[in-house]
A and B are shown apart, each in its own frame.
Chain A
Amino acid sequence: MACEFNLNFLKELEREAVLEVLYRDQMVRKTEEERIRKLKLQLQQLRWKGARNVNHEYQERSCARCQKSLGLLMNRGAVCNGCSHRVCSECRVCLNPCLWKCTVCYAHGDVKVKAGEWFFEERAKKYPGEAKGCRLTIRLLCGLWICDHGNFKTANILCFLTLGISHLQELGQSKSFNKSVENLVLSLTTHIKKISKSQNDMADRRLLTTDYGQNVERRKQRRSQSDTAINITSRVSILLYNITSSPTSDAVFCDGRKHGSLYSLNSTCTESGNFGKANVTGEIEFAIRYIFKACILEICIKGCKNLAYGEEKKKKCNPYVKVYLLPDKSPRSKRKTAVKKSTVDPEFDETLKYKIEYSQLGSRQLQISVWHAGALKYRVFLGEVVIPLAAWNFEENSMQLFNWYQLKPKQHLKPSAELTNWLFHMINAPVSGKKDPGVPNCQLQVMIFGAKNLPMLRSAGMPNSFVKGCLILPDQAEVKRKSPVLKKEAFPQWKHLFVFDGVTPPQLQQSCLHLTVWDKSSFSSSDQFLGGAKLGAEESLGSADPVPPSVLQWQEVLRSPNTWMDFTLVLHSNKENFKS
């Protein structure tokens, strides 16, 4: 099927107008979904009322719905055609003179009508396979996004895009469709990051959690209130939100290239796709430092020598250097030097900068690559150096000096299993009832989005994965949480919220959070461990070892009220190290 609309006929302002409408529509849909959810819940409760009665049925004859006892001769009840339960005359609803149903069966039908299922059923006859939700909206969104070259501008649009996420999962059918959706999500997460970076307020957390039901007005309100809100409850909020592209999503981008504008998002993949290759020779000279005061990572690129010719036959070489702060491969992470003309020993003398928290560096790698810029858009890879920053001592002066590094061929980094898109949120909110003004209780919320590159344990297929969260308090008490199981997904997206409350900030200082991913076994055997990640205080302190990133990240989280931060949590495979 055509995966998205061609909306090129719309002018820019028209596209925004359409988006605005789609956004409002999404609000309507959201309200509707919530309403239906409540209806179904009520129905469930009604059923339960009856179900409890089932046990009694052998001992006494009673109405399955209201539990009133029924006589043997008088008022003996009748069996409902819908559910085959015996019910009293009061628990019946007449549909027509010769048909009645018990209250539950009737309610079941009623919910179906009120949820508009008749419409979806009718439509499914004409369009089999049509998803119930806002498939159209997403298709349009993709279409709009493509004609907009991945540039959404207004805040409205951003909110809207976020609303869209909640529906992306229903779109599992078409491969090609998924790809554009995935591209969209990537672009939108990038945008969300931008706003959350720039605004650092509570409203943005709402943007990212599953509660997409707010409207723009409310968002604005919240924004203006957020300052006072923070003062009153002294909230601390942390966002761990990471956009990392896996090899699979690279493939997505390569495929997406036919859409014209998509590849601008991720040039690393287009490079390896249809770009030229040269033999890799030569060296590059650069220095790396971290400016602690300003939280800026600087890469000073001096120059290169003995580069290979980008176009060997023509003896042509116009080199430039490109840097990514992996694992982020989005354009946001890209920095480039100027192109030097006709030289294999270029001097750049340029400083490329990233604004990044120190605590995040541990999970990052610098990918510094050299390229030849040929005619038109022809690019040739000339070599690269990858520096894992975890091992880099930024406090050591000697590490800040210029150094020569041998250029290497493209490295195919083995992807490590990762917990993706984790959203951490902690609220310092006084809990009513407890009077301890000095130390307010707070709540730690951890939004689990998903994981990727999980190890394959089964010979047949994908894991049925779930996450356990275990908060280990200073007194070794453990607070445990568990997510639902997601069946057969290589890239599970749980979107589940762990809430740990009743803890105090000083307690958290010395606490440790263990997050583990498991493969649910289908039989009685125990669940398989897929990997784990830690955040927080180490049990064994006092050694001379450098402080691990997980500790720094945790401290950063506690120290920085109202800032969104992102970390990548790499999953480790040593099961013994984790409590679950």
Chain B
Amino acid sequence: MTDGDYDYLIKLLALGDSGVGKTTFLYRYTDNKFNPKFITTVGIDFREKRVVYNSRGPNGSPGKAFKVHLQLWDTAGQERFRSLTTAFFRDAMGFLLMFDLTSQQSFLNVRNWMSQLQANAYCENPDIVLIGNKADLSDQREVNERQAKDLADKYGIPYFETSAATGQNVEKAVDMLLDLIMKRMEQCVDKTQVSDTANGGSSGKLDSAKPEEKKCAC
């Protein structure tokens, strides 16, 4: 299914306790379907989706559209796979940290997941979106929105309440994460584009052509 006709390969990874709905969430996102059955994930898995990302100019003007190939890693929440799953954190560019709105415990564990991320992700402060899932089960809710928002604010990350069952906010949450990553990428790149300039060139051989030309820039 993968052909190379895209501009960026972006790797996201979903993590969180077992049963919070990571697999179901990703399935909703990629296939727009809901699976009510619980089949716990063995170790790791991933799904793919091709999306179009519209970049925006500095003043909010519409920029270019890019084809993005998303590789969405799904990890097992079960403790026994931990050594395997955390090893994959390092390869991901952004994270969907999920808990179950109907399980206080899964919310409490968010802190642990955060420290796992800090230890194992590609950098100290990677892009993360906090997701409270199963918003459709309002009668069983154990975590209120305020609590979750506060925690997200503390970490300085966005928070979404989603439902893989209804599809509510699923796309929004992923889009947000993608946006964060693309912004970070632009920043990193601007830095290198500018620093390339400072170092006086990046394209090897051509530099030696005419040193005296350098002085007479207009």
Contact = CB atoms under 8 A, between A and B. Distances in A.
Contacts of B216: 79
A83 B202 contact: yes
Contact of B192 (A84, A112, A139, A140): A112
Contacts of A25: 46, 71
B205 A126 contact: no
Query: Is chain B's interface secondary structure helix, strand, loop, or mixed overall?
Result: mixed
Contacts of A54: 206, 209
Contacts of B213: 79, 84-86
Interface in A53-68: 54, 57, 64
Interface in B148-164: none
A116 B9 contact: yes
A96 B91 contact: no
A123 B122 contact: yes
Given A18-B44, A108-B202, A9 B185 contact: no
Given A17-B43, A76-B218, A83-B202, A5 B122 contact: no
A14 interface: yes
Contacts of A85: 206, 209, 213
Interface stretch (A97-105, A154-162, A404-412, A487-495): A97-105
Query: Is chain A's interface secondary structure helix, strand, loop, or mixed overall?
Result: helix
B108 interface: no
Interface in A104-127: 104-106, 108-109, 112-114, 116, 118-119, 121-123, 125-127
A28 B84 contact: no
Contact of B188 (A34, A101, A106, A121): A121
B138 interface: no
Contacts of A119: 93, 122, 185
Contacts of B211: 84
Contacts of B123: 122-123, 125-126
A122 B201 contact: no
B205 A51 contact: yes
A121 B203 CA distance: 19
Interface string B179-218: 0000011001110111011001111011101110110111
B90 interface: yes
B4 A118 contact: no
Contact of B196 (A35, A57, A82): A82
B147 interface: no
Interface in B114-167: 122-124
Contacts of B45: 21
B202 A84 contact: no
A83 B201 CA distance: 5
- 5 pairs of A and B residues whose beta carbons are closest in the complex: A35-B4, A118-B188, A123-B122, A79-B217, A81-B197
Interface of A: 5-7, 9-10, 14, 17-18, 21, 24-25, 27-28, 31-32, 34-35, 38, 47, 50-51, 54, 57, 64, 76-79, 81-86, 95-96, 99, 101, 104-106, 108-109, 112-114, 116, 118-119, 121-123, 125-127, 130, 136, 139-140
Interface of B: 2-4, 6-9, 42-46, 48, 58, 71, 80-81, 83-84, 87-88, 90-91, 93, 122-124, 184-185, 188-190, 192-194, 196-197, 200-203, 205-207, 209-211, 213-214, 216-218
16 contacts: A9-B80, A17-B42, A24-B46, A31-B4, A79-B216, A83-B201, A83-B202, A85-B206, A85-B209, A101-B193, A104-B203, A105-B201, A118-B184, A123-B90, A136-B87, A140-B87
